[in-house]
Every structure is written in structure tokens, then in C-alpha cells.
Amino acid sequence: MKKTLALTAFLIFTVMAFAQKDRPNIVWLTCEDISPTLSMYGDSTAKTPNLDQLAKEGIVFDNVFAVVGVCAPSRSSIITGMYPTSIGTMHMRTAKDIMSWGARKYKKEGMGVDINHKTVPQYSAVIPAQVKCFPEYMRMQGYYCINNQKTDYQFAAPVTAWDENNPKGDWSHTPKGKPFFYVFNHGVTHESQIWKRKNLPLTVDPKTVPLPSYYPDDPVVRKDVARNYSNIEELDRQIGEKIQRLKDAGLYDNTIIFFFSDHGGPLPRGKRLHYDSGLKVPFIVRIPEKYKKKYGLDPSWVKNGRVDALISFVDLAPTMLSITGYPIPGYMQGYAFMGPQKVEKQRKYIFGTGDRFDEYTDRNRIVRDHRYLYVRNYHPDLPAYKDIAYRKNIDMMNRLLELHKLGRLNPAQNYWFRMYKTKEEFYDCKTDPDNVHNIIDDPQYKEKIDEMRTAMDNWLAETGDMGEIPEKEMVMQMWPGGIQPLTETPVVHKKGRTVTLTCGTEGASIAYLISDKDFTPDLNAGWQVYYEPVKVPRGKYLYVMSQRIGYKESEIVKEKF
């Protein structure tokens, strides 16, 4: 009998170990601020051999959209699987939570954003208690999760979100026998690199770059457009280095690779806009052959290596959980498009939002299907163009303003600078891919417009829209009295050397660390996610802390065993 039990236990352990070993690694090679201006989307201006090869071996998605056309709100949707307007992360930007673990201390006032002469304080968004960063769930499934390096979630990343979250984070640090989830964010295509790299040699000839209809044919414009394409070529080189490392380590065919941008392109009339130029992104996934059946897409979605389905950034978190085997939480607003929990039915619409961008506020909501774009403007009296100071570091932005003032822009080029907006806008993205011809009053589209109005109304009702709340009032709800709430100190319950951990703050995650050292651990000390009782070896120290997202983290509890 004992031999039988021992054999059964051994077989179970062997099966579990094999399942762990056979699970795919997942790598996100993300970048900032590019639209689908790549050869696999029909634009061969930038030479991108590494991305071309990834597309050839993988699947190209033709209709992937960010939820917001700027990084921080967009990244909050990626990490939570929630619309920013549902969790209060829609304003760009709440604080200095940009890199790594984020700023841990906040001033009552100090952001200096003036909105209708009302200063909005610096804050970390307090999101609904049940909402977590999705890598936390992956860690519970045995994945080693590494982020290098940007977070920018609108809240400081809790230590439970990542095993490593810093510029030195690397998949090579993964403990033996564990699969890894590795995110590397490439910043070379960011908007700021248009001016920071402007004196570097161009690798793309300004004379040859294509110009959308909303740009005039001007030398200053052409130079910045060429800089953008040149930055994309440097991005491709960097992507190639990451892929080669995986190949050299023998991991290429054990790893699902995702490539995408955090929103649309960096140039004026792209980033921060709710049109295709700001929301539509390139998206490529390479799935090794042995993983395609279990972890891939529904084969009916893929035709000639391409996917036409509408995909939103809120779909990324549930998709990662579907691949890694964690049950998708019911609160997530996205849908898995890969893995065992993938949906069968494709989206009919995607939704997007725009609220405060830096020092200017507005409120726009959009619905997009495969062909049409519907926009609802809540402040039609405000100009369409926002004179954002940061964007004016780009030479061509100042040139566009100059040409506008001189009256030297045609109607398509002038469209962005209109002083007033209609309450609604409607575009045929097939015949008008630049979204410069508003056909909201064309009677032949009345039925389609009514359909998309209804879709918008239903979505707003289903998801809630915190954009109705003035931002300062919302912050005071999150931080009563303007003071950041504090996560309660976790409680250690001992039964011998087995420990159970609890925290009185609703929605708080608990992190622990077992060490032979008596020290004060920092945020990079290797904190583990608590989700089941832990056995602490005799003579070791146990450190415990807790944090609800948006709250200040608790004090660290120390126990010696």
C-alpha cells in the first residue's frame, strides 16, 4: 500500500513537473507611439527585416486598437483588463508612476495641472478593490514575471505585480523549471525621440516619406516624419537583438512572442487623438507550432496569416490568463482571443476614450467597427486642437501652427485646428482613412449612425463612466481630505511553522519574503505573492507587507522562526 501511494505521488509530481515545463514562455516586445506604418501593413518606408520575419513566421492582426491614444491611461487598461473610465485612470497623467515600482510618496498638491483654473493634485488612482495587475495572477500559476521597465499605470505597481520590475530585469534570471513572462518596453520610437534624436543621421530620406492628407508637403514636416521612420528602423534593430538572444538560448520555439505599440504614432494629429491615427496599432504574434492547438487562436479567425477581428487593449489581460491557465476574473471587461478560455464570437465594436491630456481637458468617446468610426463630443464648444506644451517640442508642430496662422493649410490639413466641434462625428474609415471628412449629417448613413449611437449608450451603461465626475472631485473621493489612504498592516497567523496571512483592507494583496537575513527589504528584494499558507523553515525570517492599488503600502511585519 505504501509503495502504491509513493508511486502515485511520484506520478502526480512527474505530471505536474512536465506540465510546468511544457508551458510556453511569453515575451512582449512592446514599443511606444507607432501606428501600423510597417511593411506588413503596406508601408515599406522603414526597412524592418526583423519585424518582417516575425510577421512571416507569425500572425498579423489588422484591427487592434488602444483604448486611449496616450500611454498612461492606455497602460492602465493593458495591466488591468479594464476600461480607464471604469476605474478612474483616464486622465493623463495622475502622478510620477512611470518607471519600475513608481513613486511611493505623494504630495497633497504639486502636480500643477490647471484645468479651468482648478489645480488637480498629484495622486495615485484608487481603483476598485477587486481589480489586480494581471501578472499577479500569472505568478500564482508559477510564472516568473519580469518587466523592463516602464509601468505608467496611473498607480504605483504593487510588489505583488512582478518578480522583477527594473532596468536590469531579464528572463535569464528565471528560476530553473519555471516558465517566464517577460516584457521589454522599447522607448526609441517615443514622441520625445523626435526632438531628442533630431540631430542624429537619418536613415530614411525625407524626400521619399509618404504624408497623410492632414500634413502639408513642407521640409520641416518631412524631416520629422523621416525621423519617425528612422526611429522605427532603430526599433527593428533592437527587436532583432532580443529575438536573437532567445534563439541563442534555445528558447525561440518554446516562447510565444507578442509585438505591439502602446498607442498610435508620435507625430502631431496622431498621439492623444481618438481617431485611427491615435488608437490603431501594429500587432504581431508568433506562436511556436507545438503551442498553436492549445494556446493559439481559433483557426477560423486566421486567414493567410492575418486576423481581421477587432481587438481592444482590454483583451490583453484576459488573453494572458487564458494562455497561462488562470481563470479569468469576472470583473475583467475584455475577452480572451487566445488559449483555452478564448471566446468564439468576435467583437462587433471597440471603444475608445479621451479626457485630460496633460494641461488640457476634454471628453470624447468613440465606437469603431470594421469600417466606421463614431465620435461623441461632450464639449463641442472646446477647440479640437489642444495647445499642449510638451508636443510643441516637435519642430513640425510649430511649423503646422505657423502655416495655419498664415492661412496656408488646405481643408484636410486645417481640420484639426477647427475652433468648435460638432456634438457627434462620423467617418468612413475605408474611403477616409485619415478621418478628416465628417459625414455625421449625411442621410445615407443615418441607420448606421443610429446603430453606433445605441452601441455607445449600451457600453456607457454597462461599464460606467467616471469621466462625468470632475477630476478634482474624483481625487477627493479616492483620497479623502487629499490624503492617500493607508493599507492596513497584515496579520501573521502561526500554526507551528505554517503561516496564514490576512489583511483588513478590502482588496489588498499580500507579499511575503523568507530570508536568513535580519534586514529592511526594499521593493526589489524578491517579494512573493501570498495566496496559500506558507511553511517557514526554522531559523529564517519572515517579512510581510500588503497593499491595495492606489493606497500607500503597509508597514513591513517581521517574524523570526
379 in Cβ contact with 362 (< 8 Å): yes
Measured between alpha carbons, how far is 267 from 192 in angstroms, rounded to an integer?
A: 10
Q: What secondary structure does DSSP assign to 513-540, as a single string?
A: EEESS-S---TTS--EE--S-EE--TT-
What SS3 class is residue 454? helix
Q: Is 71 a catalytic residue?
A: yes
DSSP-derived secondary structure letter, 552: B
Going by C-alpha positions, the residue among 154, 183, 130 that lies closest to residue 74 is 154
Q: Cα(first)–Cα(last) distance of the chain, in Å? A: 36
511 in Cβ contact with 456 (< 8 Å): no
Measured between alpha carbons, how far is 489 from 472 in angstroms, rounded to an integer?
A: 29
* 71-80 and 316-324 helices, crossing angle to 10°: 30
Within 10 angstroms of residue 492's Cβ, the number of other Cβ atoms is: 17
Going by C-alpha positions, the residue among 440, 408, 446 that lies closest to residue 426 is 440
Q: What secondary structure does DSSP assign to 222-233, as a single string?
A: HHHHHHHHHHHH
302 in Cβ contact with 59 (< 8 Å): yes
Which amino acid type is present at position 136? Answer: E
Q: What secondary structure does DSSP assign to 35-96, as a single string?
A: -S-SGGGT--SS--HHHHHHHHHSEEEEEEE-SSSSHHHHHHHHHHSS-HHHHT--SB-SSS
- Is there a cis peptide before residue 93, judged by omega within 30 degrees of 0? yes
Which entry of 31, 71, 145, 503 is annotated as an active-site residue? 71
482: left (phi over 0), alpha (psi -120 to 50) or beta: left
Measured between alpha carbons, how far is 227 from 327 in angstroms, rounded to an integer?
A: 44
Which amino acid type is present at position 457? Answer: D
Active site members: 71
